Structure 1
Amino acid sequence: MNRAEAHFSHGIADNLEDPKYNHYKYWSNPLEMKLPDAPNMEIYCSYGVGIPTERSYVYKLSPSNKCKRIPYQIDTSVDGEDGSCLKSGVYFADGDESVPVLSAGFMCAKGWKGRTRFNPSGINTYVREYQSKPPTSGIKSTTHVDIMGNIALIEDILRVAAGATGEEIGGDKIYSDILRMSERINLRLWWPGSIEIATGKVLADEREKKPHTAEMDYSLAALKLLCGQLKDARGTPSQSALTLGGILFQRVWLQGVLVSNDDEDRLLLDDSTGIVELNLSGDFRQRQWKTGMYVMVVGGYFVRTGDIPVIKVHKIVDLSPFPDREAMWYLEVLEAYKLFYQPLIEEFI
């Protein structure tokens, strides 16, 4: 075990800028290593699905007369109900017989999707899944080794090698539940500066702050415009609305990545603090919004009982072509109110 720990790591990086992650033992772990600065490159997660695959186990203590160096063994007496994924102490999931879908596809489905701290240059990633079909070891088999002879995989490789892009070969090709499973994983993906919903506070964490080239406009004209916008944004207060100087801070500015629709065909946004639903109307509803788009959203924020929060979208902009762009948040720091807005705000409202 000591030898394995010296050469491999299985953690999750808090700060990828830490020099310790230059050590080779982290290189094989995508959660402790950034992708290269190569925005024109593409990455494909190509793997088989549709085969029951071992994912986790139920253990019990080993008898004292057995191997003393390994105190646990699989409890083969444990079975789930009929149709359960638990059989003889082993939990099964979708996969290629050796690697579960979540292990094979998570990084392309979420961890590297768009511009994240693991993919700072926004390299395009594609999930290409291949369904297993009989016979075993045939040209449509997708088991962990046999997939090397899968005709669909070979065709994809040849087309990409000949110069085709991921979009040209069809983009994502997904048969499994990888997108929904990935959404349920709470992994911090974004840079500092995401806005805490409805309060205007900047989320603070241990990561180093990125330098901002644009400063807030403190001119009187800008202040008048801001106060007017905030005043007009008043609506039915939500539980998280905040009143300062007579202004109801319920409007929200967010940047994040669109994640797949749920069963009710709702458009969802992940801003790294959680998932919110986007309520679109008018022309915005007619546009083609795709999973993985990096967007800015402005709208009214509402808390709901028994469901995720919803933003009634006033404006939504696709920032995917500009992964380095950050919107200028008028409510970026709550202390700005105390320093600047509070002394003047009553004069203009």
Structure 2
Amino acid sequence: MGYRIPKTPLTLMATVYRKIFPAVNTELAFWQKRANEIPNQELRTQALASIKSKRFHCLGGAVYALLAGYKWQEAIRFIVAYQTISDYLDNLCDRSTSMDPDDFRLLHQAMIDALSPGNSIKNYYELRTDQVDGEYLADLVRTCQKIFRNMNDYEVIRDYILKLEQLYGDLQVHKHVKEDERISRLKNWYEANRVNTLSWYEFSASAGSTLGIFCLVSYTLGGNMSKELAGNIYNSYFPYVQGLHILLDYYIDQEEDNLEGDLNFCSYYNNYEQMKKRFVYFIEQADKHVQSLPNSDFHEMVHQGLVGLYLGDPKVKKLMDGVQMTEELLHISGISARFFHWNTKLYYKFRQPRD
């Protein structure tokens, strides 16, 4: 693939369809085969369901592999394995009969170990009934660790990726406990880590993305990491790019979460106007902060792509102000977001089964 990082939406999409998606699908096929071999029925069901329903997380995240130069395939291997851990654990916590925060914390130790090549593999299922997964989770962790063992400059990014994971893990624990404890836990957590420009629910959303980790790891694999760059990536992606990512994710899931009784951070905005105003704020801040990064046009395309991608989902049409929100956010985000939006709608149109 070489070192040329796409600078226009057209060249980005061409590279993604030609190189990135096929490589991601190959990796996912491997892990799907492994998931099929899990002895425990419940663990097997959740592993397969997470790959089937959340495949787009890996496909979207893998765009960062373009920052890894000639090591783009290693970056994809890491991104797919790490995102697969994330999606699998999310399913185990979401669909679990357990409400034990210690159980959730131990499960998410797998994500810390995946980022820590010196850590030993643990029994991540120790505090739950379902145990035997045929080394599925352990092998996902080992796959990530192997990438780091062969990486120069791991020490430069270690503290940043572990901090982003800590935020992610804390969020997963607090939001999956008993319903009557969730909000107080999330608010206390926010107070201990306060970001004054954000509400507690916006802070929570910003913690729930893996994009900052993918960006840091990919640049490091490409041999382009420095202390200054690592700090700039962390401060650009958390909270604004990651916050925009997850708020959009929650936005399109509002109706679904309402029916399922699941926590949705968008429901805490007072009204549509306030939510729209804050989305615009996140778009503007993401745009401003990525200017400090090399390949800033690539990072701009990523957050513009998030707007186009999420608002192109058919679920948006079912939301009361969905069409209006789409038009206003696409207008703010510019022509690249419209291009990605059009591509997404086309994808969903041709993916529909024909009569």
More helix, by proportion:
2
Flag whether TM exceeds 0.5 (same fold). no
Report the TM range for the smaller structure's normalisation.
under 0.3
Q: What TM-score, normalized by structure 1, do the two folds share? A: 0.25
State the TM-score, normalizing by the size of structure 2: 0.24
Q: Which one scores higher on RCO, CA 8 angstroms, separation ≥ 6?
A: 2
